[in-house]
Structure 1
Amino acid sequence: MDILGPFPTASGQRKFLLVAIDYFTKWVEAEPLAKITEAKVQDFVWKTLICRFGLPRALITDNGRQFAGARFAEFCEGLNVSHHFTSVAHPQANGEAEVTNRTLLQGLKTRLDRAKGAWADELYHVLWAYRTTQRVPTGETPFALAFGTEAVIPIELKLPSARIVGFNEQLNPQDLRANLDLLEEKREVARIRMATYQRKVARYYNSRVKNKAFRVGDLVLRRAAVSRPQSQGKLVPNWEGPYEVVEVVRPGTYRLKELGGLTLPRPWNSENLRMYHQ
């Protein structure tokens, strides 16, 4: 889940976009909002996600205050939904949302080169196109993986496809049941494709990017520009610390504690850390 904006102000003073994408199907939901508050995020998760699709196993967000507050934490805990945070100042860790955001932004830009303030109204056309387009990781459309059959799109009515021409009202219930019988097989094939795709992406990334590696017990400095309030300006040190590495969350991501013993609340990516030399 992620936040986009601010955009040019649309009707209702809306200038932000709250986006959620399902990890497996790639189904995306998005809502234009005037302000992104903790209450708005909770309302979006309940009405748009849970009431339509059921409880998610986990939510992955960045460290924004709209996601990191006590109210939202209590809401997730009450529903037994795990809430995971990406590394501070490392949005690439929330890869699903990042890729989707780029797609949505490109779609909006393509449709809104002139009528900038109409982006909120055009959003639903972009979402429709995204949901009914085959995604590379799965080889399927989000619509098909979510609902078990492909959506009928407007172009099929103007230029009738084989399924439109061959539609039989008496046989349709039987065909739909057959689609549902094949749904689990389709999803399993999509899982295999996605795992293969992710391995390829990981190999490509690892061949180009060399993360700094730290071990538990190492002393590191943390990039100050990431953690300090903007009001402090540029005349403060660029690095702060030292901190001790207390856990390797995954390669390139670490949990830190102050030398006084207080563990920092979020993991940190190695891009924002460097070794401390006494």
Structure 2
Amino acid sequence: MTLRPRQKFLSPGVSTFNHANEGFDAASCTSEDSFTTHSPIITSTPSPNVFDSSQLSHEQAHDPDIRRIISQLNRSNHLDSTLSSSFIIKNGILNKLITLTPTSRRRLSVPYLPSSMIRSFLTAMHDDPFQGGHFSFDKMMSKIRTRYWWPHMKHDVHRHVQACVPCNQYNYSRQKKPGHLQPIPPIAIPFSIIGMDFCGPFLESPRENKYVLVVTDLFTHFVTAIPLPTNTAEITALSLFRHIFCRFGICSTLITDQGTHFNNNLMRAFQHLLGYNHILSTPYHPQTNGVVERFNASMVVQISKLQQKHHNNWDDYLDAVVFAYNSSKHKTTQYSPFELLFGRCPTLPIDSPPQYFQFDRPNNYFVHLQKILQIYHQQAKLNIMNQQRYHKKYYDQNRRDPHYIVGDRVFTKIFAARGKLDPRYSAEPKIIVQTSHPTYTVRHEATGLEHRYHVSDLRPVTLAYVDNEST
């Protein structure tokens, strides 16, 4: 085995090729040598503003704030004790006296960085792959504070990190997603506001069903689940009409996601014909229709326990699972959906048969049912509001709720399938053109395309440090 001396590695972007070195030629360079010497790994584009520490004395001499402090320090007869305890001149360079910890008595002198050099210094300490590597504010400050000082240093460093485009694209936030909880106010009228969603596809059953259309009343939480062979717009509109509107009446508001089976010309014509309001949730934000989403998760688990193996007869058990859910007490309302809708508990096989029958006049039963339902609905509404307040308090705790205005620029989250090294947010900022907090419509200026985003999927664009000379 032949040992070769270790080669010198220069800074990224600097070639090691030397015409004066007669022992170096293209034939003697292996593929590994070529990679390490001529193709350095660069994680970001080097900034044109290269920080040059040798210019510190020259730039300090042209900085008015630094010149004023030096002038006051040089006046021995008018020496300011506060100023002299904070600054010192070393080798013609103004230095700031700092303490690394609040309790430390040892003071360190670091050069006062003039404003004309701050931008290039921040770029070098954050964007450069060797010195900064696009790490966080804390890591950047730990390197800077023992090397240089200037007024409002923490603020400028924080703003530079926030304005970094690659950091906004790739950084994973470990904080709670922004945006407070916005509960839907309960209306004590069954089937006034309903949510609808498709669950599936499942394995095709013997009845050729692959999907389940789930419709939930947001007040009583009463669920209707319809097994279907497809999830087209035509079968969606027909199922909604037959199984919901023909049984419970026309709703005032329908909430769905933006799937093509819900967001299409047929459903819009259906909406205008019957006169209900159709709300489309923000893309990739299922919390808007959370009641339906939670039932879908429960339904899949329960059906999977009951279906026969290798027969895929899941739709044989669908109605039974839905009835078991509707006849069970809901944690939010403290009543079963069946009770809130019909004013009585359902009779189950385990119940004892009645010993006698009591025949009431229809009018008497109607008055009694009205009183019972009024009590149930009022109490259920209070229970829902109490649960909403509890969940909102827990959800909003230590969570930011940023508000944007028209004209603000933001980065938008990328939802398409991506690898681990792909960006999480858009490279180019987009402009907000319509606000309805917590939902915002943003426009891509180059293409003119507009999309709706939830506030949790936006990151604000922050202006980087700008010195006085460039403004």
- TM-score normalised by the chain length of structure 2: 0.52
TM-aligned CA deviation for residue 249 of structure 1: 2.2
Instruction: Assess if the C-alpha contact under 8 Å between 1:215 and 1:248 holds in 2.
Output: yes
Partner amino acid, structure 2, of 1:186? Y
Which stretch of the first structure deviates more once superposed, 67-76 or 99-108?
99-108
Instruction: Assess if the C-alpha contact under 8 Å between 2:256 and 2:279 holds in 1.
Output: yes
Instruction: Assess if the C-alpha contact under 8 Å between 2:210 and 2:229 holds in 1.
Output: yes
Can you give the 5+ residue segments of structure 2 that lack an aligned partner in the other structure? Answer: 1-195, 464-471
Q: Deviations over 1:121-163 (max 9, x none)?
A: 110110110111111111111111112222112211xxx1xxx
Can you give the 5+ residue segments of structure 1 that lack an aligned partner in the other structure? Answer: none
TM-aligned CA deviation for residue 63 of structure 1: 0.9
Larger radius of gyration: 2
Q: How does 1:18-57 map to 2 (within 5 A)?
A: 18-57=213-252
Closer, same or farther: CA 215–129 of 1 in aligned 2, 3 Å: same
Instruction: Assess if the C-alpha contact under 8 Å between 1:25 and 1:146 holds in 2.
Output: yes
Q: Deviations over 1:231-262 (max 9, x none)?
A: xx7698653342222344234x3222333695
Partner Cα distance (1:41, 1:114) in 2? 29
* 1:170 alignment partner in structure 2: 359
Q: How does 1:94-173 map to 2 (within 5 A)?
A: 94-112=289-307, 114=309, 117-156=312-351, 160=352, 164-165=353-354, 167-171=356-360
Q: Deviations over 1:155-178 (max 9, x none)?
A: 11xxx1xxx545433358656642
Identity %: 26
- What is the CA RMSD across the aligned residues, in angstroms? 2.6
Which stretch of the first structure deviates more once superposed, 21-30 or 182-191?
182-191
* 1:243 alignment partner in structure 2: 430
Report which of the two has the higher share of strand.
1
Is 1:258 the counterpart of 2:444? The answer is yes
Instruction: Assess if the C-alpha contact under 8 Å between 2:403 and 2:437 holds in 1.
Output: no
* 1:13 alignment partner in structure 2: 208
Q: How does 1:176-187 map to 2 (within 5 A)?
A: 177-187=367-377
Instruction: Assess if the C-alpha contact under 8 Å between 1:211 and 1:270 holds in 2.
Output: no
* 2:393 alignment partner in structure 1: 203
Q: Deviations over 1:82-113 (max 9, x none)?
A: 11111111112211111211221222123237
Partner Cα distance (1:99, 1:224) in 2? 25
Partner Cα distance (1:147, 1:273) in 2? 44
Partner amino acid, structure 2, of 1:270? V
Which stretch of the first structure deviates more once superposed, 217-226 or 234-243?
234-243
* 2:402 alignment partner in structure 1: 213
Instruction: Assess if the C-alpha contact under 8 Å between 1:8 and 1:116 holds in 2.
Output: no
TM-aligned CA deviation for residue 264 of structure 1: 2.7
Partner SS, residue 293 of structure 2: helix
Closer, same or farther: CA 74–129 of 1 in aligned 2, 3 Å: same
Partner Cα distance (2:296, 2:375) in 1? 29
Partner amino acid, structure 2, of 1:90? H
Partner Cα distance (2:456, 2:203) in 1? 32
Instruction: Assess if the C-alpha contact under 8 Å between 2:437 and 2:455 holds in 1.
Output: no
Report which of the two has the higher share of helix.
1
Q: Deviations over 1:50-90 (max 9, x none)?
A: 00000000111111111111111111122111111111111
Partner Cα distance (1:255, 1:167) in 2? 63
- TM-score normalised by the chain length of structure 1: 0.84
